[in-house]
Amino acid sequence: MSAVCWNCGGGAPGAEASGRFCTACKALQPPATDYFEFFELPRQLVLDPKDLEKRFYALSRQLHPDLFSRKSSREQEYSLESAAVLNDAYRVLKDPIARALYVLKLEGFDTGEQTTKDVPPELLEEVFELNMALEELRMGDTDVLPQLEAARLRFENMRDETDAELQTKFGAWDASHERNILTEIRGLLNRRKYVTNLIDKASHVPDRV
């Protein structure tokens, strides 16, 4: 956000920490695009959900477009932009996985679609067996249903173990902000995404009764 008010050119000296309103003329300023800055939070991977929710509702009351219906067209525009950023930011920051991906993006990491080389090698055999079981099921062999259920449970355990490891890494990065930890987190997120896809494959099968 600019430290200079678009409306009166003031507001820089002694401006509010948030910079949401000019301290001189009280005009609403354009919203921050950084989600952490918007919520007045440090860039970190571990957040207090209750504190985030409290901030969300406080900002909702402060920035609701209805409050600016009689203001200038520019403030009305900024209120709509602020409401949109608020909702997007809350959706991302309240979810640990989405929050981690967002931090990776802010820190310059590629968070695009994972490629074949990102597939965890230790899962190759599991994937082969799952695909074979699904093919047999498509051919009408319902005897593989217990095998698919067992696979789903194994994959869910893998996901839970990955989540626990992620939480440990989140705290480590918050304490040090070392880039190599983010590299490890990105690897864990790729693994989690792949395992989640396997859970979906093992769960959504025809005639699963």
Q: What DSSP string describes 123-162?
A: GHHHHHHHHHHHHHHHTT-GGGHHHHHHHHHHHHHHHHHH
Q: What DSSP string describes 68-105?
A: GTTS-HHHHHHHHHHHHHHHHHHHHHTSHHHHHHHHHH
Q: What is the mean pLDDT of each run of 10 residues along the chain (209 residues)?
A: 79 55 90 96 98 97 95 96 97 98 96 62 87 92 93 96 98 98 95 93 67
CB atoms under 10 Å from CB of 75, counted, come to 22
Q: Quick one: tokens of 166?
A: 């992620």
* CA gap 153, 174 in Å, rounded: 32
Q: Quick one: tokens of 158?
A: 């893998």
Distance set, CA 82 to CA 89, 138, 182 (Å): 10, 50, 29
Q: How confident is the model at residue 102, as a pLDDT? A: 98
Distance set, CA 43 to CA 23, 34, 145, 184, 195 (Å): 26, 9, 45, 18, 28
In the numeric block, the tokens 């301290």 are attached to 23
CATH class of 1-94: mainly alpha
Q: How confident is the model at residue 23, as a pLDDT? A: 86
pLDDT digits (tens, 9 = 90+) for 171-182: 999 999 999 999
Count the helix, strand and coil residues of the chain and give each as a percent rounded to the nearest 5.
65, 0, 35
Q: How confident is the model at residue 11, as a pLDDT? A: 63
pLDDT digits (tens, 9 = 90+) for 93-122: 999 999 999 999 999 998 876 554 556 788
Domain ranges (residues) in the chain = 1-94, 116-203
Q: Quick one: tokens of 190?
A: 């790729």
